[in-house]
Chain A
């Protein structure tokens, strides 16, 4: 069965610094990978996804993520953090050879310090 791990419960970054939110996955085949963000008191919003092609995927709000097959990772990155990026971030994985079920990680809370 597919699974995804987010090893950090919380990440603190100073405004203007680069940020990384880590995600590793486990699937039997080639994965579909997603990042979602949850702002306070709001529903989850899609940020970006990797299906195939370039390992570096660009998404909303200046975020990007790099697919690394050898390390089974899909870390979320942004070159310069904003205070408004403070939110809960979820990584998700789907095994396209099985079904449409998508499994989410436990989430990482990102705090951007002014």
Chain B
């Protein structure tokens, strides 16, 4: 597709359940990012993939959060045993990767997660 695609657009789950959020980056973009945007808060960095390098997981808030990127394209963010404080909009972005280049990030519309 023409842009970054995220699914589902909305997800309501019960506390303690696991959820999977999907991101389809722009074709050819080697860098992929996950952010979390809580109500009234800014963008919180979660994880960053660049090509075949080991991902930068420094932003993941707990070991309940994990992400993978298969074949250098689609990424899945998994939250295990969801808690109410996980409720937020999860944003995915992609860009042309590579150091030394001011690549623009293109964002998906996000997945709004509500944990009841």
Is A49 interfacial (CB 8 A cutoff)? Answer: yes
A96 and B42 contacting across the interface, CB-CB below 8 Å: no
- With a cutoff of 8 Å between Cβ atoms, the chain B residues found around residue A36 in the complex are 105, 107
In the complex the two chains form, is B107's CB within 8 Å of A32's CB?
Answer: no
Within the assembled complex, what's the spacing in Å between the Cα atoms of A44 and B90?
12
A97 contacts B104, CB within 8 Å?
no
Q: A32-B102, A43-B108, A44-B91 are in contact. Are A106 and B42 (CB under 8 A)?
A: yes
Cα separation A106 to B37 with both chains bound (whole Å):
9
Which interface residue of A36, A49, A103, A104 has the most chain B CB atoms within 10 A? A104
Interface size class of B (residues with CB under 8 A): 20 to 34
Shortest beta-carbon distance from A65 to chain B in Å: 13
Q: Please report the total number of A residues contacting B with Cβ < 8 Å.
A: 26
The 7 A-B pairs of least Cβ separation, nearest first, read A106-B42, A104-B43, A51-B102, A44-B107, A107-B42, A32-B102, A43-B107
Binding site for A on B (CB under 8 A): 31, 33, 35, 41-43, 45, 48, 50, 56, 91, 93, 95, 97-110
What residues make up the interface of A, taking CB atoms closer than 8 Å to B? 6, 32, 34, 36, 42-46, 49, 51, 90, 92, 94, 96-107
Could you list some 26 contacts between A and B, CB below 8 A?
A34-B105, A43-B91, A43-B110, A44-B91, A44-B93, A44-B105, A44-B107, A46-B104, A46-B105, A49-B102, A49-B104, A96-B102, A97-B99, A97-B100, A99-B50, A100-B50, A100-B95, A100-B97, A100-B98, A100-B103, A101-B45, A101-B56, A104-B42, A104-B43, A104-B45, A107-B42
